[in-house]
Chain A
Amino acid sequence: MRYTAAVLSGRLVRLLARIRKPGGGSAIPGLVVNTIAPGYLGHALKSFPDGLVMISGSAGKSTITKMVVAVLAAHGVEVFTNPSTANIAQGLTSALLERSDLRGRVHQRMAVLELDEGHGAALVERVQPDILLLTNVMVDQIDRFHDSQMVADMLHTMAEATGGTVILNADDAFLMEIAGAPDVLAAIRYFGVSDEVLAANPRGLGYTAMTDVRLPAEDGTLLVSVAAREAEVVHAGEVCRVTLPARGVHYAVDAAAAIETAATILGESFDLALAAKTIGSLPPVFGRGEVVEIGGETVEFILVQNPASYQLNLDSMEANTEQVLLAVGSDVRDPSYLWPVDTSGLGTVNMVTGSKAWDAALQLVYDGVAVDRVEPDLAAGLDAFLALPKPAVGHKTIIFTADAMRRTRVHLGLSVNKETV
């Protein structure tokens, strides 16, 4: 009964928040409960009889979490999970409140949580994971508060607290330091890419530091080939093909990580073919290689979230992309964001739009990219680009930042989901 009052308060606040802003879930109920009952979160997370899985690291955690949860469901295992917008303590508590009874208990037998590095490191002081997956260490070049070693230290803290198995990205040099650390007592499993996959990505995979040697196939799940949305992985001596939710080597690495994690959770009952089929039937990720029909024409959306993802997305674009719109919105206040990226591969950009269009166009011309037109008004820019005749090969491609994506979807009358707003 300890948490009944806190749970009720949280629900009341949630109700009030919804009345003020319909449809808006919010972190505020979680904030209230965490303030009046600081023990609630740890208590609720300890109540999963079949264990607690945490997924953390710089990039890929929400994609992997969705994949793992879907693969578990396909195996008949329903789990509690948090939406990616709720990967910090307040949001997590709010998500638990949505699903808990009045004593603060959630009824699924297992939880699979996506956690931000900093909050994950703080959370493991209260509740320890049975299985931990660490994706990678990537640092926004412009985020000077988070250097690589700091992120690696936070992930190391999570690994130390893990009781069962830690699953690591074998290609990430910062994470591989965790594998050899004496204070990490969990069993270690790996996922990684083959020499061939790495050779096809000469700029690397976006990690701060790469290891020198690739993962032997028998030590985990190995990604052996990627071509557009098709990937091939080897797991426990078995080879299987996986269709990815979006094009790009990082989604293929995410799939390998999800397969290794689901296999670790499910043990004997894990079915690789079923896992691959499940991942292949996931809906495309919003704005990440998402293909949309607009006015009878196919248009591909590519979301860039930071300089590293901008570079990775450009590097994985189809070579024959002949019509490109780049939309940079007010979320990029500091144009420095654009400059660590090598955009020369774009060749020609037909339209640069959004409130930071002039800065974006400026960066492109210094990389030798031909810019056909700059139109800072996003709606006008989109309309003019979509009115261009269909490309002879391939399809139109729209690259946007998060703010520009939201406005683009609204302008085109496409669904806008909660996570992208």
Chain B
Amino acid sequence: MSDGTERDAFVIATLFPSILNTNGDAANARVLAQRARWAGVANVSLIEVEHAKQMPRDVDFVVVGACSEPDVVRAHERLAAVQPALEAAGTAGVPVLAVGTGWYLLSQRFLTPGRSSEAGLGLFSGSASKRSQRISDDLVVDTAYGQLVGYENHSTDYRLGQGEKPLGTVAYGSGNGDGAEGALTGSLVGTHLHGPILARNPSFADHLLSRALERTGRTLPTSARAQEADRFAANARSAVTTALGL
């Protein structure tokens, strides 16, 4: 903590899961909490934020899932209500994982259900834009944290903004629409990889978890209990990449 005091809880917040959970993206928060517990991290707490006042002041990880298209405007209002807390988290280096429409809403511009472009919260400097056809397929991305295997379902491209880096390059699928996938800015991660990407890709999960823990002077211990899950994940990934001929 900035004031040097010890804080004993490890707090993961998932924002508005009743609407921002179209593809089970909120499960990523459950996955992080479980991996932290398996590694013996003390006092892991998972908070489902449904009202702005439930947003914890001290937070170690924030998960923002995707919403269905008709819910975009409602989700925008809800996220706007926690914008100061999100900005503070970003400034403090707290990892924020934002998926699909949840990511677009945090960018410069998002698309309404009527496909018009509107100003987002601007935490990411890039913008979502229309793509001609909906894509719903496996998405495989080569990144610094290994090859991430997931799924995408969207009709939106993403143009990176000033100072943003992609999460990786597309090995299979569409991603941002230009060969890159996702956006990294500070401790914020935006991606089209929806659903349980952190379960399927534990190397990425542990990278983000370590970062969250290191911020408060902690480390992520290795976990024997995660090994079974990670073996299942490796098989799940290779089932996809083998089928895709990668």
Contacts and interface: CB of A to CB of B under 8 A. Distances in A.
B156 to A, nearest CB: 12
B241 interface: no
B24 interface: yes
A78 interface: no
Contacts of B22: 141-142, 144
A353 to B, nearest CB: 13
A366 B235 CA distance: 16
Nearest to B113: A147
Interface residues of B, number: 29
A339 B24 contact: yes
Given A144-B69, A336-B195, A355-B239, A362 B23 contact: no
B34 A358 contact: no
B102 to A, nearest CB: 13
Contact of A358 (B69, B153, B196, B239): B239
Contact of A365 (B151, B200, B232): B232
A366 B194 contact: no
Given A361-B232, A363-B196, A366-B199, A142 B239 contact: no
Nearest to A342: B30
B199 A363 contact: yes
B228 A147 contact: no
Interface string A246-264: 0000000000000000000
Contacts of B114: none
B229 A362 contact: yes
Nearest to A359: B236
Interface string A334-351: 111111100000000000
Interface in A307-335: 307, 333-335
Interface in B1-55: 21-25, 27, 30-31, 34
Interface in B187-241: 194-196, 199-200, 228-229, 232-233, 235-236, 239
A339 B153 CA distance: 16
Contact of B23 (A142, A333, A376): A142
A144 B239 contact: no
A145 to B, nearest CB: 8
A149 interface: yes
Interface in B52-87: 68-71
Contacts of A338: 24, 196
Best-surrounded residue of A338, A365, A371 (most CB of chain B within 10 A): A365
A150 interface: yes
B136 interface: yes
Contacts of B71: 147
Interface string B170-192: 00000000000000000000000
A254 B151 CA distance: 35
A334 B194 CA distance: 9
Interface in A123-172: 141-142, 144, 147, 149-150
A55 to B, nearest CB: 26
A335 B150 CA distance: 9
B27 to A, nearest CB: 4
A336 B151 contact: yes
A365 B70 contact: no
A340 B232 contact: no
Contacts of A334: 23, 136, 151, 153, 195
A374 interface: yes
Best-surrounded residue of B30, B138, B195, B232 (most CB of chain A within 10 A): B232
Given A334-B153, A335-B196, A335-B200, A149 B27 contact: no
Contact of A339 (B195, B229, B232): B195
A366 B31 contact: yes
Nearest to B196: A339
A120 to B, nearest CB: 20
A363 B196 CA distance: 9
Contact of A149 (B21, B70, B200): B70
A335 B151 contact: yes
Best-surrounded residue of A149, A362, A368 (most CB of chain B within 10 A): A362
B136 to A, nearest CB: 7
Contacts of A366: 27, 30-31, 34, 196, 199, 229
Nearest to B234: A358
A47 B30 CA distance: 56
Contacts of A361: 232
Contacts of A340: 21, 24, 27
A4 to B, nearest CB: 42
Contacts of B195: 334-336, 339
Contacts of A355: 239
B235 to A, nearest CB: 4
B239 A336 contact: no
A247 B232 CA distance: 32
B68 A358 contact: no
Given A141-B24, A149-B70, A336-B151, 14 more contacts: A147-B70, A307-B24, A334-B23, A334-B151, A336-B23, A340-B21, A340-B27, A358-B236, A359-B236, A361-B232, A362-B199, A366-B27, A366-B31, A368-B34
10 contacts: A150-B70, A333-B138, A333-B151, A334-B151, A336-B195, A339-B24, A359-B236, A362-B232, A365-B232, A366-B31
CB-CB nearest 4 A-B residue pairs: A339-B24, A336-B195, A358-B236, A336-B23
